Amino acid sequence: MKHIIEDIYLTEIAAIAKKLNTEIYLVGGAIRDALLKRQTNDYDFVVFGDIEGLAKAVAHLFGCKTVKYNKKLLTYRVFCKIKTLDFSAPRGKNIQEDLKFRDFTINSIAFDLNSNTLIDPLGAKEDLRKGIIKANSPNSIKEDPLRILRGFRLAALFRFDIDPRTILLFRKHVELLNRVSKERITQELKLFFNLNETFTYLLIMDKVGIIDTLFEDLSFTNGCIQSNYHLFDVKTHSLSVYNYIEWAYNRLARILGKAHKKYLPHLTTEKERLFCSLKLAALFHDAAKPFCKVVTPEGKIQFPLHAEQSYELFEKYAKAYSFGKKIIKLTRFFIKNHIKPAYLYQAWSNSELTELQKVDFFLRYKEYGIDLLFFALADTLAKGKISASKRDVYIMFLQEMADYFYKHIQPKFKTKPLIEAKEILTLYPSLEKSKLKHILFEIKKLQIAKAINTKEEAGKLLKHLV
């Protein structure tokens, strides 16, 4: 707590509050994080008195902007360079009553800026010590059902357990999530997906009924038996894919070998979008299997066109939840193409993978091709029948593909084409744009694969393609 007590922001805010004869408390996450020795840049205050005058005085002192919110509680948000300060009206007659109206005990703690004392009526410090997420009251979830998702996110963030009685509350009120705006749900899901090692919590979320409530079509994957290549039903397999995605990215150097250092800039740039997309795709890549399942006369289970149909099914939720265009686009990409690496792996394992196949794959998907290979690795391991030796062979394949991309494909992206689009349109002015795009791709592919090396060879190929 020392860095809280000595924080210049709090010292100045306390002084302003004293001048205004205003009672003020730092509450919630900032105190929780201080007790957990975690840094935070967001401060929430409860103000008994002139909240507007206090917020404006603080904003003036620090040269910050102020925004007024008045949804459930009157709040003034002050945006400073390194901190965001929220000044809110109380929820009760006093600070103890206010804290009892909050979500979980670990967030229901206050620091009196005037006396420098902690106020902990619900045992937050003890629950932090034990590592427990506990709802404040039986009505806590009914007041705001989004707290169900927040509870799991906080548990995953801190690696805490969730109190069994709170789990029962979550299960009892899970259907109330349908009353929460999709925007608020999406925000919580994005925060959860971008945490690491969340699989254990996802399993509990599924048992509580959260996944089937938010994505009702996924309920049909429960108990949908697959072919003999799979040990699990569709839902269990999908959750397992989610698990192996986290497993693989926690072992980046092992999975990619020497190529992992070259992959890091891409991962760093795309991490938030990528993790959210990969995990969404894990849940949805086989979502249509219950609807396209076929049992042949020989008793074989098949799922014709399930990737395409899962892609279509996901569109329903892409429209409902505001994950953002880039995350939706990436998720679609993984769902639609998740089977394609299997064909490359099969050719590779038979020593039949050609230069043209590798160039075609990476020219189409660029560095996202490596992300797709990660997804395919997780999908393969999640079948449940893969031995450690076969797993290592697949990892060897992934390493070779990544090495090939960084050595032979990425450096040639900016290579001048043997024949330009303008030249093609001069020769064939009525050529359709889609046809032109295909021709340019084929020429570039053969050029990178060194199947053609001169302008004359490109010209001959052009005549054939047209």
pLDDT (tens digit per residue) in 290-346 = 999 999 999 899 999 999 999 999 999 999 999 999 999 999 999 999 999 999 999
Question: Given pLDDT bands bounded at 50, 70 and 90, which one contains residue 4?
Answer: low
Looking at residue 403, the DSSP 8-state letter turns out to be: H
CA–CA dist 264, 402 (Å, integer): 12
CA–CA dist 464, 76 (Å, integer): 68
User: Which pair of structure tokens corresponds to residue 297?
Assistant: 């006369």
Question: Given pLDDT bands bounded at 50, 70 and 90, which one contains residue 5?
Answer: low
The CATH number corresponding to 132-210 among 3.40.50.2000, 1.10.230.10, 1.10.10.410, 1.10.110.30 equals 1.10.110.30
**Four-residue CA torsion sign, 174, 246, 327, 285:** negative
pLDDT of residue 385: 80
Q: Could you tell me whether strands 294-295 and 301-302 are parallel, antiparallel, or unpaired per DSSP bridges? A: antiparallel
**Whether pLDDT at 2 is above 60:** no
- Given a contact cutoff of 8 angstroms between Cβ atoms, the answer to whether 322 and 186 are in contact is yes
CA–CA dist 325, 132 (Å, integer): 36
pLDDT of residue 222: 96
CA–CA dist 119, 1 (Å, integer): 13
**Whether pLDDT at 71 is above 80:** no
In terms of Cβ atoms closer than 10 Å to its own Cβ (0-12, 13-18, 19+), residue 40 is middle
Q: Classify 2-130 by CATH class.
A: alpha beta
Where do the domains of the chain lie? 2-130, 132-210, 215-240+247-412, 421-465
CA distances, 142 to each of 139, 146, 173, 180 (Å): 5, 9, 7, 11
pLDDT of residue 280: 98
**Whether pLDDT at 442 is above 90:** yes
**Whether pLDDT at 3 is above 70:** no
**Whether pLDDT at 215 is above 70:** yes
User: How many residues belong to the chain?
Assistant: 466
179 CB contacts (<8 Å, ≥6 apart)?
A: 145
**Whether pLDDT at 451 is above 90:** yes
34 CB contacts (<8 Å, ≥6 apart)?
A: 1, 3, 4, 40
